[in-house]
Structure formats: structure tokens, C-alpha cells
A and B are shown apart, each in its own frame.
Chain A
Amino acid sequence: MAQDVFMDPWQSANFPMEDEEMGMPPGKYARMEDDMGENKERFARENHSEIERRRRNKMTHYINELAEMVPQCASLGRKPDKLTILRMAVSHMKGIRGHSAQDETSYKPSFLTDQELKHLILEAANGFLFVVCCQTGKVLYVADSITPVLNLKQEDWLQRNLNDLIHPDDQDKIRDQLCGSEVSVNKVLDLKTGSVKREGASTRVHMSCRRGFICRMRVGALEPLHRLRNRRPLFQHGGHNYVVMHCTGYIKNAPPQGINAPASSCLVAIARLQVASMPVCADPASANQFSVRVAEDGKMTFIDSKVGDLIGLSSDQLIGRYWWNLAHPSDEKTLQDSFIALLSDQPMRINIRIRTSTDYVPCTVSAYKFMNPYSEQFEYVVATHQVSPQEDIHSWVTGPLDAQPQTSGFNELGVPGAADYGQSSSGGWRTDPQVAAPAQWTWDPMNGYNQ
């Protein structure tokens, strides 16, 4: 099953292998035979030869695979026998380990060398190792793999205080991690009730030095950091960028060997960037769009903060108002009708004009109903407003609107006070009679583009 996960033309993997026998300890078959009780004698011979056959098949399969991996076998030009394969495999593996051969007795092979393991941690976990003194907060050691992760040099970290390297808002959190015991950094949650208690004395002693926390670390110039390109979130503070790092490790009573530092407890940890968790930044096309969440009654309950940059209205001004109040007065009805149609499951994508602080802009509105996946109950409508880029507008909006740019008072409206919050109607928006005039305005999508 699923042998060809990566679409491999390399090897015909149709060798019969039952999943359940893979990696089963040899003793297991013996036990199974015992279980068969009285049938044992009758089937023993048959069964045993069956098992033997499968074992041999498996062995042949693995031997063949090994033969393919050993260059000496492949260059032979004919299929070597098992013994030759083994012999050549041994000499190939001796060749792999290379010059350490002189020390035959102390040689201990490992799947990966230290360097390769560091590489693996860097590539697969985007992580680097660091050591911090708990008392002073000084960085005693940092691996050079910090460079591809944060684009900082080892010198940027060594002997610096960890506080200078992390987001100021996270400093208290880190102090707790460095100085506190596990009791102060963890708590126990009961999933039944939600009640929380501090970690009890029952915690095993050796676990109490384990640490795991999230903090934001400073990054160097972002340009060379391919991993982070187009990822968010990035945090800014004091002219620096910070990214979220997950740190795991433990507190040691003394600095690790090879680090020249006064005896004091240390945090030895790996910090890693969880790139796969970081959403990809919206593509450039979405820079001109903002989302609005609309409740069943048509009121806007959430507007993303981009709305301010795009149409100059703050979301505080808009939340709690009817969605169609956002539209040009002559388009209000269109939007409202579309909304009602959307609620009865008709797809929605319309072109209307929407308000800005001073004017109106053409805008493509698309929306969908978000249903609770479990209860299939209506949750809300999510509407995306694609505002046409500024340069298009002038060639696009013609006629009286262009001649008399509307300065009708969104600014004068100000932030809705607590009193009128939530009870807005189109009346509160003071539709200017001059605006109401071109009520026959209809949008022909080809018009604008043909000019």
C-alpha cells in the first residue's frame, strides 16, 4: 500500500509484503502458534513452511535492495549472490566511515553525524541551539545555525543579555522561565471542568527542569531570509523586527562542558521557527481588499483594519451598522437585496460603489455564508470588498459624480457614541441629496475598461 508516495519510477514495489509482519519480533510467530492449541499439530508443518517462505521472500527483497545501494554490486553487471552482496556492503560501509577506521575498537557508527544532525534540526525544525545563564541572562553559547534562521551572527548573541534579543513585552515571561521552577511556569488543566490547579508535588523530579515557551526574537535583515519571506506575523518594535520562536530545553545546574562560564544554572534550549504554522501573506491582489463579517440581521460585526487605509473610514465607525449603509445610497438596495438572496443560498458577487471618508469608490463585493460545520447552522456572512485601484477610478466614474466629488460628512459623523451604537439605520448616514440624484447610475463593467 502507498508504496509510491512520491511518484517513484525507481523500483517496482510490488513485492508481496503483508503490513502486519513488518518489523514484528520473531518471537511473536512462535506465540501465535502456541495459541492455536489443538490445531497446532495439524497445521504446524504447513504453517511453518509458510512462515519460512515469507521470511525468505522478505530477506530476498531486502538483499536485492541492498545490492542496488552498493555501487560495487551495481558495477558487476550481473546479479551477485547473497554472500557477495553482503561482503561488498560491508566494505562499502567501511568506506563510508572512512578515515576513522584506524580506531577499530572505539568506533561507534551512528545514522547521522553531529554535523548532519545539526543540519537536520536546522532544515526540518528551523532551529538552533543556545545556552543562557539563568542568573545574569547572558548568552553563553549559540550555534552558528542561528544565521540561516534569524540572519544574525553568533557574535550578535554571544555575551549579550537575552533581554536585548527578545521582544520587550516577552521579557517578564522569559525571566519566569529562567528563574522559576516548573511549578511557576506550568499549570494543570482539567478538561472536564476547565478548572486549573498549579502543578502538584506529584510531578516527577527529573521533569521539573524541562522548559518550553514561546517568545519573540529579534531578526536581522529580512531580505536574505527565504524562510520568512511572505510569512506572517512579524512584530515591530523600536525599529526591529521580531518573529515568534518556540523554545524547548531544560535547566542545567552547571554550564555544559566546553563552555567557559562561572558555575551557575543554565538554560540549554533549541529555539525554532515554526514556519509551517505561519500563514503566508496575502498576495498583492488582496492588498486592495478588506473583509467584513455580517450578522444574520445585516449588521456588520467585524471589519478588518485594512478598511482604514482603503476607504478612510475606521472600523469603529462602521461596526454595528447595516452592511448596506456602506454602499452608495443608490446601491444600497442592490446590496441589501443581494444579502437577502445570499441568505437563501444564492451566490453573491456584485459591483457597487462604496463610501469613503470623502467620496465613493467602485468596488467588487463577493460574499459567502459561513455555516457551522457541525451544526450546519448559520454563523455569519463573510464579505470581501475589492476596491478598485485609485488610478482606475478617474477613468471609471464619470458624469456628475466626477464633477462634484462628494464631501458628505463621514468625518462629521465621528465615532458613534455608545448611545447610537448598534441601532444605526441609513438615516444616521445623512445621505446628501446631491448624491441621491444619480440614482439611475448603473454600472456596465465593459464601460470602464473600454475607455
Chain B
Amino acid sequence: MENFEFSQLAKELPLARAISGQHIDKTTMVRLATAYIKLYNIFGQTRRAYTNADYYYGSDSNWTNNHLDLLDGFFVILDRRGDVLYISETISIYLGLSQVEMTGNPMVDYIHEQDVNCFNSVCTNNPSRVFILFKALNYCDRYWPQMCNVRVKSSLTKRANKDAVRASPGYKVLRLEITMGPNPNTRMIACYPMPTPVLSTVTISCNSFVIITSIDLRITYADEKAHQLLRNDFYPDSNIKGLSFYTLIDVSDSDVISKMHFDIFNLGAYKTPYYRMILNQTSQTFYVESNIFRHTSVSSKQFNDSITFVSSIL
């Protein structure tokens, strides 16, 4: 009797036929069904809202589901309690976690405990803070996404070993962009994983330039391109080695880097928002975005700790 109802429920669940029914326990089924209905309630409302809005949605016959693969990340929708209503199945590519397991469970269960506060503050701050600031200008919260870098559980990372003292084994750093969902209490999160170093190497775009610093951000290495952009033109033979990284950035943006400097010790990897660097120590600046990695290793003699900036000019 009960089993019959469960098998009926399994048929309605948004899962591949192969796994529904047999491989999912009843608790999970009920959890998924709840999330599915909640999700419908939220998006059902939006569809109506958007027909009157200034949006233009035509029909796109070419739009198909596999386009999640195009992104270098995945999506999460949270309800007002912070429970996962939807998580794209592509999470398994990046973190090895499963959609079925996470749907209906609190997102914070998967976030490193040191980063939970950071995560909660960007989730809750999002509407309130912006709203106060821009109420007069008729601003809409939907257009004010927030970002943060947090560690999320992953079954794909390696454990710490003697060559690489990992900041937090079993976790991967994600850059989250959090937007208010269709319903003011929901959150839509775009999650972009940071590249994970393989041994000590990481793949980077060929347009980026590289600066390596010690942990107090004194520059110990800069590649040719970084030199050309950042050296002081008044002294053509000057070397940016030995300088503080802070002297290379626009003073108005120094808080971006000092925040990174605090966070990199815990996170191990960090993606900055856009900030300005000073072109050749003149008054001209240019925008960059950096992926930053902390690399620690223990050699026979000493403990090495360095911070690498991989920056792209925008």
C-alpha cells in the first residue's frame, strides 16, 4: 500500500529512470518531492511576473538542457531557510557531490565551518544593505549580486601530503555569486570552482601574467609581462622584485587585496573582484582580475610558503 504510493512518487521525481525507485530510499524521495514542489511554486510565480515585466522572452527552440556543460561552474537555488531547492547535476563534475544527495538539505552543511559566517552574511545582507543605500534611486535587489569565496566539501580533492600542506583537505574553493531569486527570500547562486593545482602546477590562460610573492606580499618573482606593465618607467632598469604588491595597486582598491590577504591563509585559493593596478607607476591604471593561490611545501631544509597571483587584464 505504502510502497505503491512511493513507486508512484518515484515516477514523478525528476530523476533518471534507472535510479528512481530502486536505489533511492523513501526518505530521500520525500525530500526530493518537497524540493521539487517548492521549486515549482517559485518559478511558477516568476513566469507570470515576467510576462508583464520589461523582459523579452521569445521562444528558443535551440535551447537545450546540456548547456549547463558550457559553463565553468554550476548553479544552486536556496529557499528561505538556506535549503537546497535545486542544484545542477554538473556539481558532480566539480565536487563529486550528487544532486540527489544535496537537494532538500541545508547548503551550509556542505560549507567549511570557518566560512559559514561569510556565506550567511552575503546571503542575508544582499537585499537589506543594498536596499537602504539605494532605496531613493528605485533600485531593485535583483541587480545587486554579491560574491564570496568559500570552501565547499568535495570528494575529488586529495588529502594533504608532505609535499603540499593543503589549507583544507576534502574541500574545494568556490567563488559564489549570489543573487536574489524570483522570490525575495530565495537565493540563486552561481558557483565557479577555482582551478585546483595538480601537484604544484595549474593551467592558466596565456594572456595572464604571473607574480609570486612571499606571504607578506613582497614580490619574489614576476614574469616578463608583469615587468613590462608594472615597472617604474622613470627607471627603465628598475625591477619590481622586492616591492610590496600593495604598491602596485590603485590605493582606492587596496582593501580588495588586503581582504584577499586575510582570506588566502584559510582558503588557499581566491578569486578577486575586478581591481586596478598602476601602469608603470604613473597615474594610469588598468583593470585586472586575479586568481590567487597559496602554495606551501616542505622541502628537506625549509618550509616554503608563497602566494601566486595569476592576473588577467580586462
Name A residues whose Cβ lies closer than 8 Å to a Cβ of B. 1-8, 10-11, 13, 19, 22-23, 26, 55, 58-59, 62-63, 65-66, 69-70, 82-83, 86-87, 89-90, 92-94, 96-97, 108-112, 114-121, 123-125, 127, 129, 141, 143-145, 147-148, 154, 173, 176, 184-194, 196, 199, 212-214, 216, 224, 226-227, 229, 233, 244, 248-250, 256, 258-259, 268-270, 272, 274-279, 291-293, 301-305, 307, 314-316, 319, 370, 372-375, 377, 379-380, 382, 418, 421-422
Assuming A93-B36, A233-B287, A277-B274, what are 17 further A-B pairs, CB within 8 angstroms?
A: A23-B28, A23-B102, A62-B30, A90-B8, A110-B14, A119-B46, A123-B181, A145-B57, A147-B56, A187-B204, A189-B308, A194-B223, A224-B54, A226-B139, A277-B273, A302-B281, A374-B261
How many residue-residue contacts, CB under 8 A, span A and B?
A: 336
Contact partners of B169 in chain A: CB under 8 A: none
Contact partners of A213 in chain B: CB under 8 A: 205, 207
Report the Cα distance A111→B89, complex, angstroms: 10
- Evaluate contact between B314 and A233: CB separation under 8 angstroms: yes
- Evaluate contact between A227 and B143: CB separation under 8 angstroms: yes
Closest Cβ neighbor of B260 among chain A residues: A373
- Evaluate contact between B5 and A374: CB separation under 8 angstroms: no
Q: Give which listed residue, B72, B80, B310, contacts A248 with CB less than 8 A.
A: B72
Minimum distance in angstroms from B232 CB to a CB of chain A: 10
Contact partners of B289 in chain A: CB under 8 A: 214, 274, 277
Minimum distance in angstroms from B46 CB to a CB of chain A: 7
Secondary structure of the A contact surface, majority rule:
mixed
- Evaluate contact between A372 and B308: CB separation under 8 angstroms: no
Q: Give which listed residue, B78, B189, B253, contacts A279 with CB less than 8 A.
A: B253
Q: What string of 1s and 0s marks CB contacts (under 8 Å) between B103-147 and chain A?
A: 111101100000010001001100000000000000110110111
Minimum distance in angstroms from B206 CB to a CB of chain A: 5
The 9 A-B pairs at the shortest CB distance, nearest first, are namely A315-B283, A5-B82, A276-B147, A124-B188, A191-B295, A86-B5, A375-B216, A277-B273, A93-B12
Contact partners of A119 in chain B: CB under 8 A: 43, 46, 50
Report the Cα distance A446→B205, complex, angstroms: 57
Contact partners of B194 in chain A: CB under 8 A: none
Contact partners of A189 in chain B: CB under 8 A: 201-204, 210, 308, 310
- Evaluate contact between A270 and B314: CB separation under 8 angstroms: no
Report the Cα distance A116→B86, complex, angstroms: 12
Q: Give which listed residue, B35, B201, B207, contacts A191 with CB less than 8 A.
A: B201
- Evaluate contact between B33 and A89: CB separation under 8 angstroms: yes
- Evaluate contact between A63 and B62: CB separation under 8 angstroms: no
- Evaluate contact between A118 and B37: CB separation under 8 angstroms: no
- Evaluate contact between A5 and B258: CB separation under 8 angstroms: no
Minimum distance in angstroms from A11 CB to a CB of chain B: 7
Minimum distance in angstroms from A370 CB to a CB of chain B: 6
- Evaluate contact between B188 and A123: CB separation under 8 angstroms: yes
Report the Cα distance A176→B206, complex, angstroms: 10
- Evaluate contact between A191 and B274: CB separation under 8 angstroms: no
Minimum distance in angstroms from B114 CB to a CB of chain A: 13
Closest Cβ neighbor of B12 among chain A residues: A93
Contact partners of B252 in chain A: CB under 8 A: 291, 304
Report the Cα distance A70→B108, complex, angstroms: 26
Contact partners of B80 in chain A: CB under 8 A: 5-6, 8, 10
Q: What string of 1s and 0s marks CB contacts (under 8 Å) between B4-19 and chain A?
A: 0110110011100100
Report the Cα distance A314→B109, complex, angstroms: 54
Contact partners of B262 in chain A: CB under 8 A: 373
Contact partners of A418 in chain B: CB under 8 A: 234
Contact partners of B283 in chain A: CB under 8 A: 302-305, 307, 314-316, 319
Report the Cα distance A145→B262, complex, angstroms: 38
Contact size range, B:
35 or more
- Evaluate contact between A249 and B70: CB separation under 8 angstroms: yes
Q: Give which listed residue, A97, A118, A278, A304, contacts B12 with CB less than 8 A.
A: A97
Contact partners of B274 in chain A: CB under 8 A: 233, 244, 274, 277-279
Report the Cα distance A89→B8, complex, angstroms: 10
Report the Cα distance A13→B261, complex, angstroms: 37
- In this assembly, does B63 line the interface, its C-beta being within 8 Å of a C-beta of chain A? yes
Report the Cα distance A119→B182, complex, angstroms: 10
Minimum distance in angstroms from B182 CB to a CB of chain A: 8
Within 8 A of A (CB), among B241-261: 244, 246-247, 250-254, 258, 261
Within 8 A of A (CB), among B176-219: 177-179, 181-182, 185, 187-190, 197, 200-207, 210, 212, 215-217
Contact partners of B65 in chain A: CB under 8 A: 110, 114, 117
Within 8 A of A (CB), among B52-75: 54-58, 60-65, 67-73, 75
- In this assembly, does B26 line the interface, its C-beta being within 8 Å of a C-beta of chain A? yes
- Evaluate contact between A116 and B43: CB separation under 8 angstroms: yes
Report the Cα distance A427→B172, complex, angstroms: 58
Report the Cα distance A269→B210, complex, angstroms: 27
- Evaluate contact between A111 and B14: CB separation under 8 angstroms: yes
Q: Give which listed residue, A89, A147, A188, A258, contacts B62 with CB less than 8 A.
A: A258
Report the Cα distance A229→B201, complex, angstroms: 39
Report the Cα distance A307→B185, complex, angstroms: 44
- In this assembly, does B173 line the interface, its C-beta being within 8 Å of a C-beta of chain A? no
Contact partners of A70 in chain B: CB under 8 A: 37
Known contacts A69-B37, A194-B223; decide if A377 and B308 are in contact (CB<8 Å): no
- Evaluate contact between B203 and A293: CB separation under 8 angstroms: no
Contact partners of B40 in chain A: CB under 8 A: 96
Which of B77, B80, B140 counts the most A-chain CB atoms under 10 A from its CB? B80
- Evaluate contact between B67 and A270: CB separation under 8 angstroms: yes
- In this assembly, does B278 line the interface, its C-beta being within 8 Å of a C-beta of chain A? yes
Report the Cα distance A119→B14, complex, angstroms: 19
Minimum distance in angstroms from B22 CB to a CB of chain A: 13
Report the Cα distance A305→B279, complex, angstroms: 12
Minimum distance in angstroms from B266 CB to a CB of chain A: 13
Known contacts A4-B81, A6-B185, A379-B247; decide if A184 and B223 are in contact (CB<8 Å): no
Q: Give which listed residue, B1, B71, B297, contacts A192 with CB less than 8 A.
A: B297
Contact partners of A422 in chain B: CB under 8 A: 234
- Evaluate contact between A191 and B197: CB separation under 8 angstroms: yes
Report the Cα distance A88→B60, complex, angstroms: 34
- In this assembly, does B312 line the interface, its C-beta being within 8 Å of a C-beta of chain A? yes
- Evaluate contact between B206 and A187: CB separation under 8 angstroms: yes
Q: What string of 1s and 0s marks CB contacts (under 8 Å) between B255-285 and chain A?
A: 0001001100000000011110010011111
- Evaluate contact between B295 and A5: CB separation under 8 angstroms: no
Contact partners of B143 in chain A: CB under 8 A: 226-227, 229, 275
Report the Cα distance A176→B146, complex, angstroms: 32
- 11 contacts across the A-B interface (CB closer than 8 A): A5-B78, A6-B187, A59-B30, A69-B34, A124-B190, A188-B203, A191-B212, A233-B287, A279-B275, A291-B251, A319-B281
